[in-house]
Structure 1
C-alpha cells in the first residue's frame, strides 16, 4: 500500500499544500509524478484525487497532488502562478535530488490539464492531459449569445447537453479570467503559452464532450506548426476528464514510462 502524507505546505503566504503518495516499493529508481486536479479553476481539491494518487504510487511514482488558489476570489493568472511556485518548491525540496528534473512527469485533468500544458512548456516534463480545455478567446467570439451558468439546466431551463456544456464552459472560463476582455482570454489560451521546452505530450479527449474537440485539433495543429511532438487519443463517447481518466490510466502510464526510458 502507498504511504500518504497530507497537507505538506509549499506556499505559506497563500496557505497552499500538497498531498504526497509514496510508493511502497523503494527499490527502484525515483519516478515523480505531479497530478493536477480539475474543477474549472473555481472548485476542486487535492483530496478528490486520493484514489488516483494511490494507484499512481502503486505504479511506482512518488505522486504529488497540489492545491492552487480558486476563482472567483483568485482570478487568472493566480492558479498558473501557483503551479509554477509548486514546481520551484518541489525542485528545491527534500523530496528531490539535483538531477531529478528529468524524472518528473505530469497528468492533468480538465483545467488541471491546461495548467499541466503551461508547466510542460516551461520545464519539459513529459505530460498527459485528460480533456484539457485549450481555447477561450476564439470560442467566446463564436458563442457570444451563450449565457454563462454553473447549473444551466436548473438556472436557465436548458435540456440539450451541448447547450448545458456551452453554458458551463463559458461560466468557468469567465469566472477564472475575471473578465470577457479578449486580451485576457488570449493570454489564458493554451496556444499562447511558451512551449520552447515542450517535450513529449499525450492528449486524451472524448469525441463529444465538454472540451470541444475542434479546439483541441486546432491546438495540436499549432504545436505541430512549431515542430512539437503530440500524441492525441480520441476515445468514443461524451465523458469528460475524471469520468474516463481512471479507465485510461494504463494508457497514460505506458506513455509516461516510455518517455522516461527515452530520456535515459
Structure 2
C-alpha cells in the first residue's frame, strides 16, 4: 500500500505545496522521482495526477508532485523559479539524505517536461519528458496570423486538429509570457537554459501533436552540437503527453532505472 503525505509546504512565501507518495519499501537506497504536471502553465495541479503518484510509488520511487504558480496571475519566469525553489527545498529537507542527489530522477508532462528540462540542466537529474515544449520565439515569429484560443473548436469554429493545436499553442505561450513580447519568448526557449550539468535525457513526442516536432528536432540538434547525450522517441499519431503516458510508462521507467544503475556503477 502506498502511503501519501499531502500538502507539504515547500515555499511558505507563496504557499506552494507538494504531495509525496511513499513506496512500500524505503531505505537508504530509495529512488526519488519528481513528477512535474502539465497544463500549459495556466492550469493543472498535483491533485489531477494523484493516480500517477500511486503508479510511480508502486514502481519503487518515492514520488514527489509539486504545485507551482500559474498564469495569468503569475507569468514567466514564476513556474521556473518555483521548480528551482522546490529542488532546493527537497535537497535540504528531511526527505533526502546527503547523498540522495544521485538518486533523484524526473518525469515531466507537457510544460511540466519543459520545467524538467530546466531543472535537468541545473542539477543533472536523469529525465524523461513527455511532449515537452521547447520552441517559443521561432514558432511565434512564424505564426503571427494564428489567433490564440484555449478552445479553438468552439470559439473560432476550427475543425482541423492542426489548426486547433496551433491556436492553443499560441494561447498558452502568450498567457505564460504575460504579453506578446519576442524578448520574453526568446528567454522561454529551452535552448537558452543552462545545460552545464545536463545528464541522461529521454524525450518522447508524437509525430503530429500539440508540440511542433520541428522545434523538438532543432532542440535535439542543439544538444548534440553541445555534445550532450539525448534519446528521442517519436511515436505515431497526434496524442499529447498524458494521452500516451500509460503506453510509455514502462519504457520511461526502464530508462530511469538503467540510468540510476549506470550512475552508481561509475
1:176 maps to what in 2?
176
1:38-187 counterparts in 2 under 5 A?
A: 38-187=38-187
* Regions of 4+ moved over 6 Å: none
RMSD (Å), alpha carbons: 0.8
Report how far residue 4 of structure 1 moved: 0.6
Determine the C-alpha separation between the residues in 1 that align with 2:45 and 2:183.
29
Three-state SS of the structure 1 residue aligned to 2:191 is: helix
CA distances 1:102-147 after superposition (whole Å, capped 9, x unpaired): 1000000000000000000000000000000100000001100000
1: CA distance between counterparts of 2:146 and 2:233?
29
CA distance in 2: counterparts of 1:10 and 1:202, whole angstroms: 28
**Residue in 2 aligned with 1:239?**
239
Name the SS of the counterpart of 1:203 in structure 2: strand
User: What corresponds to 2:256 in structure 1?
Assistant: 256
2:222 is aligned with 1:207: no
Alignment partners' CA distance in 1, 2:182 and 2:239: 29
1:219 aligns to what SS in structure 2? Answer: helix
| Structure 1 gap segments, 5+ residues each | none
- Distance in 1 (CA, whole Å) between partners of 2:246 and 2:211 is 18
Task: Give secondary structure in 2 for the equivalent of 1:172.
Answer: helix
State how 1:186-225 maps to structure 2 within 5 Å.
186-225=186-225
The CA deviation at 1:27 is: 5.3
Taking the TM superposition and a 5 Å limit, the aligned residue runs for 1:12-31 are 12-26=12-26, 29-31=29-31
Rounded Cα–Cα distance in structure 1 between residues aligned with 2:28 and 2:249: 20
Higher mean C-alpha displacement, 204-213 vs 27-36: 27-36
Query: TM (normalized to structure 2)?
Result: 0.98
User: Deviation string for 1:145-186 (max 9, x for gaps)?
Assistant: 000001011111111100110000000000001122111101
SS in 2 for 1:9: strand
How many Å separate the matches in 2 of 1:251 and 1:230? 15
CA distance in 2: counterparts of 1:115 and 1:175, whole angstroms: 16
Query: Is there any run of 5+ residues in structure 2 with no aligned partner, and where?
Result: none
SS in 1 for 2:169: helix
Whether the 8 Å contact between 1:19 and 1:66 is mirrored in structure 2 is: yes
Q: Does the CA contact (< 8 Å) of 1:52 and 1:246 recur in 2?
A: no
**Shift, 1:200, TM fit:** 0.1
Q: What TM-score do you get using the length of structure 1 for normalisation? A: 0.99
Separation (CA, whole Å) in 1 of partners of 2:56 and 2:199: 21
What is the CA–CA distance in structure 2 between the aligned matches of 1:48 and 1:24, rounded to whole Å? 23
CA shift, 1:26, in A, is: 2.4
Whole-Å separation in 2 of the counterparts to 1:107 and 1:251: 12
